[in-house]
Chains A and B, each alone.
Chain A
């Protein structure tokens, strides 16, 4: 068997069981984008640096481009598409929109996934904590300040503060 031969693959993706095909060497990003045609996770560098492919694997923000698809059969996977009703994500989306924390939007889904994990583990992140938690997600448009403000503002609204 060659690494390019296709094998059937079953994933627990966005709260559903998904049947697809993937080669041994295929990354999760290849499966999500090129087989399942999900568009939220982006291919920016394909080597784990830019963070545009960040998704949730068992609740942790991970690089889909560094994860082999066949290694993820037992994991619970979430992309932005599967989190429409997630309260944390909705607060972040709203804060990003109102605060102008996105421009071209290419890094945005990955940025949101990393921010969601931060806010879930830290209800009141400081500026420095946001900078640290999101420093693995590159944005070339915004200069980052509005992203930091949006993450903190979303955390504040999730705490029930005005």
Chain B
């Protein structure tokens, strides 16, 4: 298998044409016969008890077919990835302004929205908790009064408004401080960021005569949709079929549920299909966002720059429901030492319920915030030591025998090459000597987590259908998985079609999240293809009257006797035999779950570990050049060089797309994006008031650099790339900007006001 047929090709995304002609169908484009339209009623209060509902006026409106409220769900119907603390919609209490309190299904969207305004809810207002600090105060109102009864998937340490806590300790931190010549300690703060997939969230559900539910939605995992809806509606999983249209991007916001449970409840009550698409404002207010974090970092080093000790204390705003937050807390801490050798570590964090919308998974999963803090601090250390920031980092990089925080082995590490590439390509030393503002940051991420599968079938004509259950959210995973399948079977990419995820027919896939599809699902695709190869060879051996050991796959869908290309049988001939004469149709399948332990208890003391098995490590280094207007404080990113170790780029065109897209989303986090609360109310839930980078602000000179370290456990050596491109952006931009300021700005975003004050 030396010739490359598919893996490594800059193949355009397979769905390009339908997207470029406008034919691609997203959730808002779907219709069902006799379909109703849904609308939601949102809470006007941050924290209040629901005393009762008056639905009479709404139900009397012509065209209204069903209304659901918290009374339609039972107390025990709770969902949650880590802590089951949330209902399909508010029950008993509302916990944030904008929370879904009721929903209507009606003959038209106009009628549904009119009916929503006729619903009367009686509330008893309660004091609101608007920050983690407030939430931890002894006198604070408690959001979840029954938190001790909630099911939790790990030891969360939940108590009053403390949702979870996690800590890691290695070495001896007191000794670390004694060995340090220089100690720096600072606090860094980050803001709430909206995912802002251009497609708002929505769902369409229908119930058949036997009560079985079919549910389409904008999502990142049909299997998480199935699990969440099942938990929150008591419909057994086998009676819920979850499907996906094209998805208008998801950056974590579509992984856990948004309106799917409510839409299913409406469809069950109305006994008709119901579609509900959130408005942009509703999407801002009710879905989820990136966690604001307050991170105290303390780092000790020897005079020569050798890092000795690191302490981190993280205070994380959870919002009203746990969602993925406990995972984000644990993961951010696991990455708080970064890709460096630091022998003495103590990091701990607390996650606190507040009366805001839930914060949750967002590309980077807490690492962009943590990297901003820790990589800012390394620059502060470099300055104090009088060292070049790149030299300081390079001298402390983990080597081949160093373990990750927790004790996991690193099987492939291209970070030295990444750092070398960005230093060289940016002309680092010369540019800095010319007085230009350059900043650097390094980062790491995992590819992995949880369970995955693939089924490869050979159809009667010898063509191939691949079915993985992995939702392509726009990044191109279907293309990459198809390439890997084609490569493994040595057939043209065009001979492989990929099935749309369907919980009825696809093998389990936890989700398109955690940078996992290329790595985890790719492994299953290769595994399933290998099983197909084995079955093909059994047939071919009988057809060619030779041993299977003497057979090989030939390019183009044939099995031949090794070295004798004209003694070959085609996949079509083999599959016809399998279907009609002998053996049965050829189907290969493979499933697995990532099982390397995150923590070695002999090395590391861990409390409250949300992910016992997490993934393999990817690495990245980034240099940016910024320009600050000294009159206005406005920062512009002029150029960026982002090098990422992806193991092997299965599709370099799509890898570049992830690196470039991640960069610009990170630029938004660094400079312009911020969800702002006016008391308990989100003040800027519109695109008029919440700004994301446009083509005019994103640097054209954005250079994606691919480094291939070959991950031994990965398919064709590949790791994934979905998130790592965003991780280091805010840190590198902050380091570039702060290289020219008198005072250091340690708060995101780097607004003109903050920068001007620091100049």
Contacts and interface: CB of A to CB of B under 8 A. Distances in A.
A and B together in one complex: yes
Interface of A: 4, 33-34, 37-47, 49-50, 52, 79-81, 84, 93, 96-98, 100, 102-109, 112, 127, 130-132, 134-148
B22 A142 contact: no
B646 to A, nearest CB: 15
B664 A47 contact: no
B249 A108 contact: no
A138 B694 contact: yes
B702 A143 contact: yes
B248 A42 contact: yes
Contacts of A44: 198-200, 280, 687
A46 B279 contact: yes
Contact of B660 (A96, A104, A107, A145): A145
Contacts of B109: 34
Given A33-B28, A103-B249, 20 more contacts: A37-B31, A42-B26, A44-B280, A47-B688, A52-B198, A80-B21, A93-B21, A100-B13, A102-B19, A103-B476, A104-B248, A106-B26, A137-B695, A140-B197, A140-B692, A141-B249, A141-B474, A143-B662, A145-B700, A145-B702
Nearest to A147: B695
A38 B21 CA distance: 11
With most chain A CB atoms within 10 A of its CB, the pick from B26, B246, B654 is: B26
Contacts of B653: 100
A110 to B, nearest CB: 9
A136 B81 CA distance: 37
Interface residues of B, number: 59
With most chain A CB atoms within 10 A of its CB, the pick from B15, B21, B249 is: B21
Interface in B622-671: 653-654, 656-657, 659-665
A100 B21 contact: no
B657 A146 contact: yes
- The 7 A-B residue pairs with the shortest CB-CB distance in the complex, in nearest-first order: A40-B22, A104-B474, A105-B19, A143-B660, A106-B248, A104-B249, A49-B687
A109 B26 CA distance: 13
A103 B657 contact: yes
A54 B210 CA distance: 43
A40 B695 contact: no
Interface string B688-700: 1000101110101
A84 B475 CA distance: 26
A104 B219 CA distance: 12
A103 B20 contact: no
Interface string B256-294: 000000000000000000000101100000000000000
Contact of A45 (B18, B661, B687): B687
A97 B695 CA distance: 19
Contacts of B29: 37, 39
A142 B657 contact: yes
B620 to A, nearest CB: 15
B480 interface: no
A39 B475 CA distance: 21
B22 A80 contact: yes
A49 to B, nearest CB: 4
Contacts of B665: 140, 143
With most chain A CB atoms within 10 A of its CB, the pick from B19, B26, B29, B661 is: B19
Nearest to A108: B19
Interface in B5-38: 10, 12-13, 15-26, 28-29, 31
A148 B695 contact: yes
B473 interface: yes
Given A45-B280, A93-B21, A136-B694, A127 B700 contact: yes
Interface string B565-590: 00000000000000000000000000
A46 B109 CA distance: 15
With most chain B CB atoms within 10 A of its CB, the pick from A46, A49, A136 is: A49
Contacts of A106: 26, 197-199, 248-249, 474
B31 to A, nearest CB: 7
Given A138-B198, A143-B660, A143-B664, A39 B24 contact: yes
Given A40-B22, A145-B700, A47 B16 contact: no
Interface string B277-318: 101100000000000000000000000000000000000000
B20 A112 contact: yes
A95 B279 CA distance: 32
Contacts of B474: 103-106, 141
Contacts of A143: 657, 659-665, 698, 702
Nearest to B686: A47
Interface in B670-696: 686-688, 692, 694-696
B208 interface: no
Contact of A140 (B28, B198, B659, B700): B198
A22 B279 CA distance: 20
With most chain B CB atoms within 10 A of its CB, the pick from A103, A131, A136, A143 is: A143
Interface string B526-568: 0000000000000000000000000000000000000000000
Contacts of B200: 43-44
